[in-house]
Amino acid sequence: MKRNILIAVAWPYASADIHVGNITGSYLPADIYARFHRLQGNDVLMVSGSDSHGTPITVRADEDGSTPEEVYQRYHKRFLDLFQKLGLSYDLFTSTHTENHFRVAQTMFSALKEKGYMYAETQEQWYSTSQERFLPDRYVEGTCYICGFENARGDQCDQCGNLLEANELINPRSKMDGSTPELRDTEHFYLDLGALQSKIVDFLKEREDYWRPNVIRQSLGQILAEDLHGRAITRDLKWGIPVPVNGWEDKRLYVWFEAVIGYLSATIEWAALSGDEELWKDWWYNSDSRVYYFIGKDNIPFHAVIWPAELAGVGNTFGALFDEDDKHNLVLPYDVPANEFLNMEGKKISGSRNWVVDGLDFLSRYDPDPLRYYLTANMPETRDADWEWKEFVTRNNNELVATWGNLVNRVLSFAHKQWEGKIPDPGDLRPEDEAILEVIQKGFKKAGDLYNRVKLRAALTETMHLAGEVNKYIDNQAPWFEIKEDKDAAGKTIFTAIRAIDSLKILFAPVLPFSCEQLHQTLGYNKPLFEEQYTESVDDNLGTHEVLRYREGEVCCEWQPSEISPGSPFREPQPLFQKLDPEVADEEYNRLGK
């Protein structure tokens, strides 16, 4: 049955470059899952964008002497570049700084307010009299009231590691100009999560049996132990989305409330760009559609609790306010397959200490598929994983090159030489030929089940295992002997092997799109396996923003075994992957921390 699948991918903060930990945490698994479902023939939409608001961006702008807008544009462009090079096939990668997102986010706010899930409350916050503005917690420094450290930030003390109540800092000073701030009253809106608790508990319990244990148990456990309480969703800032209430024009929606709304607004923007403004409803108003949220474990509460609370809270009021269609509720998350973290050579990744492998930097020296392969084979699906350069090189050489790449090369070069670039006609297949093809066929079911349940690492292992089975089959048949005495027998073996390879191409394609596309062309197909990515500029009243898109066009092949025909021509094979000198592992390791 054809299904609408929405792949909702974490929104990167546009204040730092993306590293391999970010990639394996959410962006890569999302893309693999999207490609798998496209091959399944489902209606897939994969959306995300740059989180362009929030304190990290204003902090970066203040440090650089630039504006938040410039900071977000700079990193956003680098994201688009990286995602294209890495083959992350977003149907739309946009940003939160668009007129459309402002409107959708403000509508969500208004809908929640109308439903009675918002209340206003006054709190005290540090105010800079010299700059005439309220200071975000991390803009205030002072003495830690727990350990006495003199340079603690308002939100956290770097010496004792405790999270702090900014208002209790001793000897506070503004990070901006060193002046002494004063506490002033300020009023903010709160999302009444307490009132939404029973809806959230029901929502989680319905999904208890198939969600990953760390996601479901943490969310449910925390709620049942402590109950949900209201959270402030507005801030005294200039950069961001204005609160759509009279008298509140100077305040902004808090990013954690606003950014998750991007999943909805990006789908709406995608529909408008596609030429049919109503299309987004096929995913958001369709109770049969499935929405998957690919995120890292640090984001679990926002996607398993807070965002579902926003969605359940608005009910049909979002539609009523947005385009006067009050017949539908918004679809709640189907699954939140959050990944754990990736460490770097045994230590935590740290951007500031350069203990990190940057995505663009990596791709300046290596191809995308080896990275995708290594990160998937080692994906932190159940626990933290570790990036080791040595392991990257050995997995590339022993698995990608030796098992899969060499299988393709040994079969196709032999075939090309002996049958002059045409696939041999096997006549009737022998039992051993049928047997290996059946193993492959069962692989579609087995790997398909694993992909479907978002066990990407296991799906890849299974596929690599099948490549091993084909290598065994070839060694058993030994077509290089067969051809000396009985060319027809060798033809049966090679035909069978080519079909197996052509099938494995489909099974590997979600993880290894570039090399599978290359193999696909070598085998003589006209239409590509996947469509193309491209960028486009979009104008609105907030300015111009560049987006990443995915072209819709004719593609070949679905999730089923090869039916490639005898006699059809194919090209001389070129290696799919390059072997790496083991020394590069040391070279790369020595770059870390410098």
Q: CA angle, 493 as apex, 492 and 497 as ends, to 5°?
A: 115
59 vs 458, beta carbon nearer RNA: 458
Closest CA to 511 of 24, 94, 7: 24
**In which element (H, E) is residue 32 found?**
helix 28-39
CA 113 vs CA 219, 244, 245, 318, 321: distances in Å: 25, 11, 10, 11, 12
The tokens describing 524, both together, are: 């003589």
Instruction: Please tell me the distance from the alpha carbon of residue 35 to that of residue 530, in angstroms, as a whole number.
Output: 8
**142: Cβ–Cβ under 8 A, 6 or more apart, which residues?**
150, 152, 154, 169, 170, 171, 172, 173
Backbone angles phi, psi at 421, to 5 degrees: 75, 15
Bridge-partner residues for 185, per DSSP? 124
163 vs 170, beta carbon nearer RNA: 163
136 vs 405, beta carbon nearer RNA: 405
319 vs 573, beta carbon nearer RNA: 573
Helices (H), 166-276: 193-206, 213-226, 255-258, 262-274
104 vs 497, beta carbon nearer RNA: 497
The one-letter amino acid code at 454 reads V
Strands 118-128 and 182-191: antiparallel
217 vs 442, beta carbon nearer RNA: 217
Q: How far is the CB of 271 from RNA (least distance, A)?
A: 32
Backbone angles phi, psi at 170, to 5 degrees: -95, 140
204 vs 538, beta carbon nearer RNA: 204
391 vs 540, beta carbon nearer RNA: 391
312 vs 494, beta carbon nearer RNA: 494
Q: How far is the CB of 346 from RNA (least distance, A)?
A: 8
Instruction: Please tell me the distance from the alpha carbon of residue 165 to that of residue 387, in angstroms, as a whole number.
Output: 36
**133: Cβ–Cβ under 8 A, 6 or more apart, which residues?**
127, 236, 238
Q: How far is the CB of 164 from RNA (least distance, A)?
A: 10
Binding residues (CB under 7 A) for RNA: these are: 162-163, 213-214, 217-218, 221-222, 225-226, 297-298, 300-301, 340-341, 348, 378, 380-386, 388, 391, 394, 398-399, 401-403, 405-407, 409-411, 413-414, 457-458, 465, 468, 471-472, 474-476, 478-481, 575-579
Assess contact for 147 and 157: CB atoms under 8 A.
yes
Assess contact for 576 and 514: CB atoms under 8 A.
no
The tokens describing 200, both together, are: 């959230």
Instruction: Please tell me the distance from the alpha carbon of residue 139 to that of residue 118, in angstroms, as a whole number.
Output: 27
Q: How far is the CB of 278 from RNA (least distance, A)?
A: 36
Instruction: Please tell me the distance from the alpha carbon of residue 453 to that of residue 467, in angstroms, as a whole number.
Output: 22
Positive or negative torsion for Cα 178, 181, 187, 193: positive
Strands 140-143 and 170-174: antiparallel
CA 95 vs CA 64, 547, 549, 568: distances in Å: 21, 8, 13, 46
The one-letter amino acid code at 57 reads I
105 vs 411, beta carbon nearer RNA: 411
Strand boundaries in 481-586, DSSP class E: 533-540, 543-550
218 vs 274, beta carbon nearer RNA: 218
168 vs 384, beta carbon nearer RNA: 384
Helices (H), 65-169: 68-86, 99-114
Q: How far is the CB of 92 from RNA (least distance, A)?
A: 28
